[in-house]
Amino acid sequence: MKRSKRGFAIYTSFNDAYGKRITVVRSSLVGLPHVWIQNEVTEHMGVHLGNAHLNRRMAKQIIKALQAFIDGKE
């Protein structure tokens, strides 16, 4: 499994339908385990995009990443 610059597990990282980077990464929050579902904020045709735009294949990647987190895989 890949690691962030700070050494935390990266469960998945890919580009969405608009080419924005989507990443599911372990959080550094102390206590119970948490993950971030991160996406970069961009503009497309003058519209501010702060949400992920996923097709079914991409959604399956998110599900697989979250299942790995739930199962405690790192």
pLDDT at 49: 66
Total structural domains in the chain?
1
- 51 phi and psi, to 5 degrees? -115, 155
Domain hosting residue 41, numbered range: 2-70
pLDDT at 47: 66
pLDDT tens digit string along 10-63? 999 999 988 889 999 999 898 899 999 998 877 666 666 678 889 999 999 999
Q: Please, what sign has the CA dihedral across residues 64, 66, 5, 1?
A: negative
- 67 phi and psi, to 5 degrees? -65, -40
Exposed, middle or buried, 35 (CB in 10 Å: 0-12/13-18/19+)? buried
* 3 state SS of 35: strand
